[in-house]
Amino acid sequence: MINLENPKKFRALVEQANHVAKEIFRPNSRKYDLAEHAYPKELDMLAALLDGMNAGGGSEGAGAAGVRRDATKDEGNRNSSNLSTVLGVMELCWGDVGLLLSMPRQGLGNSAIASVASDEQLKRFDGRWAAMAITEPHCGSDSAAIRTTAKLDGDHYVLNGEKIFVTSGERADLVVVWATLDKNAGRAAIKSFVVEKGTPGFDLIRLEHKLGIRASDTAQFALVNCRVPKENLLGDPEVNVEKGFAGVMQTFDNTRPLVAGMAVGLTRACLEETRKLLELAGVTIDYAKPAYSQSAAAADFLKMEADYEASRLLTLQAAWMADNRKPNSLQASMAKAKAGRTCVDVSLKCVELCGSLGYSEHSLLEKWARDAKILDIFEGTQQIQLLIVARRLLGKSSNELK
């Protein structure tokens, strides 16, 4: 029988995350939205929070949860680090998305390391904050079009290129950089390299000013003859055309459910605040009556709640599949697509329903509407997710369905 409640062993972690969101994230949310690029010092004492969540759910991972497929035996149903981290992320993003993204040692690069690194690399990079650099000025959603190059020279790879929109790029200790070993080999030659901050030839160009998640820094980097030890390449160094993009893309099987979880948490925040303001205005939401027999505002709210529940369940499914070593690329993209779009639609509708209270800084609704949009964009845009879902369902390759 399917049990849709939070696993008992994770309830204390969820409560802890909710307490942090309520007592630290929410009270500082507006402060760091207005003070863009200022580091939230209140987070220093929380640096090990999500590490603790992972430890409570399972031993794998290097800071953030990872999708590892090397299990050789069936251990039955597992509720482990991916599910616990997603549940914690939902609660923390109920508090503030930008502040979650600013938490030390919980960067998307940590998920990449946890997913595909060797045991030696896991130990070497343990406890360090890692960002992830994929996007380039000329290639956004099409990761296979990456032009940053990596050439083997003795015991080092020499990286040259430019990376933009690197979340936590300035604050992180490491940056996982995607680069190609051979432009003529296509997707199969795309590899990821761990570049340590301070490495010669790896320079911060600027920080972006953004619509939302302003508490989180977003950086642009230039790599000019940047020498990276060959031991810092994640995964197989061989270019295998038959395997294609599978090695580096495995990271997304983990990070997309996390982003979906962020969207689910923010959606819940919007719904709870809107319900409160609607009730103050005298609008009653009656679950015992059909939506068409209630006010337009109540009917809209019921529809938004239904979309929220669908997003939440898809997200939990994708995370559970990762914990149980099941291929979850389809489910990860479905969760990301549904949760990201729902978050944007719900946040904007909540602003609309609450009128001047939603549009002003009287509440956090206007901020949440600005924060929501990034959750439909980064880690693969809405359009890319739908394309991946279509390919998986129809059994088409990327060349057959573009």
Q: Does the pLDDT value for residue 119 go beyond 70?
A: yes
- Provide the CATH number for the domain around residue 30: 1.10.540
Q: Are residues 191 and 303 in the same domain?
A: no
Inside any domain, residue 239: no
| Cα gap 170→201, rounded to integer Å | 15
Domain that holds residue 194: 130-234
At which of 120, 152, 171 does a domain end?
Answer: 120
Which residues, other chains included, contact 122 with Cβ-Cβ below 8 Å and sequence gap of 6+?
A: 62, 113, 114
Q: What are 177-207's pLDDT values in tens digits?
A: 999 999 888 888 999 999 999 999 999 999 9
Position 152, amino acid: L
Could you tell me if 286 and 313 lie in one domain?
Answer: yes
* Confidence (pLDDT) at 249: 65
* CB-count exposure of residue 161 (10 Å: 0-12, 13-18, 19+): buried
Q: Which residues of 216-254 are buried (b: 16+ CB within 10 A; e: fewer)?
A: bbbbbbebeebbbeeebbbbeeebeeeebeebbbbbbbb
- Taking 90 as the threshold, does the pLDDT of residue 221 lie above it? yes
Residues 52 and 77 in one domain: yes
Assess if residue 1 is contained within a domain.
no
pTM as predicted: 0.91
Residue 108 pLDDT class (50, 70, 90 cuts): confident
The domain tally of the chain equals 3
Give the largest Cα separation in the chain, rounded. 73
Measured from the Cβ of residue 87, the count of other Cβ atoms closer than 10 Å reads: 26
**294 with 336, same domain?**
yes
Residue 60 φ then ψ, to 5°: -75, 160
Q: Is the pLDDT of residue 123 over 90?
A: yes
Q: How far apart (Å, rounded) are the C-alpha atoms in residues 10 and 13?
A: 5
| pLDDT (mean) for 154-175 | 96
Q: Where are the alpha helices (DSSP H) in 117-193?
A: 119-125
Domain final residue pick, 182, 212, 234: 234
259 and 379 co-located in one domain: yes
Catalytic residue selected from 231, 305, 379, 400: 379
**What pLDDT is stored for residue 48 in this prediction?**
57
Looking up residue 332, the CATH number of its domain turns out to be 1.20.140.10
Q: What is the DSSP letter of 3?
A: -
Rounded average pLDDT over 62-72: 47
What pLDDT is recorded for position 63?
A: 38
Percent pLDDT > 70 in the chain is: 89
Q: What is the pLDDT of residue 217?
A: 95
Average pLDDT, the chain: 89
| For residues 80-104, average pLDDT | 93
CATH code where residue 134 lies? 2.40.110.10
Residue 156 maps to a domain: yes
Answer with the one of 234, 263, 281 that is the final residue of a domain.
234
379 belongs to the catalytic site:
yes
Predicted confidence (pLDDT) per residue in 222-276, tens digit: 999 999 999 999 988 888 765 555 555 667 887 899 999 999 999 999 999 999 9
User: Residue 63 region, left (φ>0) first, then alpha (ψ -120 to 50), else beta?
Assistant: left
Q: Examine residue 3 and state whether it is found in any structural domain, yes or no.
A: no
